[in-house]
Amino acid sequence: MKTIASFTVDHDLIVPGIYISRIDGDVITYDLRTRYPNAGDYMDHLTMHSVEHMFATLIRNSPVGDQVIYFGPMGCQTGFYLLMRDTVPPRDVYRLVRDTLLAVVRHTGEMFGAERKNCGNYRNLNLFSAKEECRRFYDLLPETPTDMAYPATPDAAAPVPPAPPAHFGVLAAMQEELEGLLPRMTEVQERTVAGIVCRTGTLNGKKVSIACAGVGKVNAALCTTVLISILGCNRIINTGVAGALSPDLKPLDLVVADRLVQYDMDTSAVGDPVGYLSGAGLNRIYLESDSDLRAALMSRAAAEGVPCRAGMIATADRFVASSEQKSEIRAAFPDAAVCEMEGAAVAQVCTLFHVPCLILRAVSDCADGSSSMDYPTFKVRAAATSASLTASLIAGAR
């Protein structure tokens, strides 16, 4: 079977840029490669779809719009194809692409084609995402066109793809646990996925998406999946409050997870230890947070004089409010520092997606019979402490 032309190009040599992919009669196919192939940094569907709506509309309304045949995303999520009549010289197409990218970035109106009657998936659009992708590509392109042929040798390509820019996903179980972050964000765009309201914007110069997951492991796992697979987050922070299990912890102390366990996962009847997670990519009891994020967080906490320690977080679909329940957890997992209802589920999803995560908890109560009294008192203050430190961590990320 004949190999199609695009499969004959060595993708290990391609770097972001504009290339002539093929010529068929009077039609030239341009490869607008916005990202490095096979580097782990891919556009999510929302971004591809949003760029398609904005770029296609603007380029078709350019002075040579009648020479545009097609514009659309690549299935590999690393760029777009633009098909033009050869009446427009390649050097002019290059300038046209840059001008159109800039027009998307500077657009002040609404998203094009964002109504039900205009699009088959009209809810899956976000103007901010389109602007960010176009700004990123525009900044990579030199003002003067260069050779638009694919690199033929390793020397012609960039040696190492740069690390993708940080896109933090921050989730919490309750809206109060995000209140300290929302006012700090700018250029905020909102969308709802699977009932989860997600807000994407800029926080301390970094792209951030935040979402209120709801209480419990399933809600947390769903929200984490949405942040990673739909919004394209490549670092996850789960912030919130927890009950103290360790006797030396007091309200407003911070615990950043080094290990996490789902203590209500129990298949011991068939010979597994309590907490054992089976399945592809798991087969373990303990999950881990990212060591670099954890070290950075603890360093910032120390600099700000905030009590913070690394420790094990115990997760279950259970609000612990008695000394008996607290003793049960400590008996099974003596090293557990705090208990809560989401962290290990977030860590499980991140483990399977190979996305680094940080699970941060501020102690709000003592997880015993007094929780009904002191939980409402400390919840807001504890959440504010976590939010402040989260914002500081994001500001220092690269």
Positions marked catalytic: 177, 365
Output b/e per residue, 205-229; b: 16+ Cβ within 10 A: ebbbbbbbbbbbbebbbbbbbbbbe
Q: Which residue has the tokens 């690394």?
A: 310
Give the pair of three-digit tokens for residue 284: 């373990």
CA gap 143, 132 in Å, rounded: 19
Output Rg (C-alpha) for the chain, integer angstroms: 25
Greatest alpha-carbon span in the chain = 79
Give the pair of three-digit tokens for residue 329: 């957890």
Residue 285 CB coordination number (10 Å): 18
Shortest CA distance to 107 belongs to which of 138, 83, 84, 85? Answer: 138
Alpha-carbon separation of residue 154 from 17, 35, 151, 160 (angstroms): 16, 17, 8, 11
* CA atoms within 13 A of residue 232's CA, in its CB half-sphere: 21
Helical residues (DSSP H) of 245-370, grouped into ranges: 291-303, 323-332, 343-353
Q: By 3-state DSSP, what share of the chain in percent is helix, strand and coil, each rounded to 5?
A: 35, 25, 40
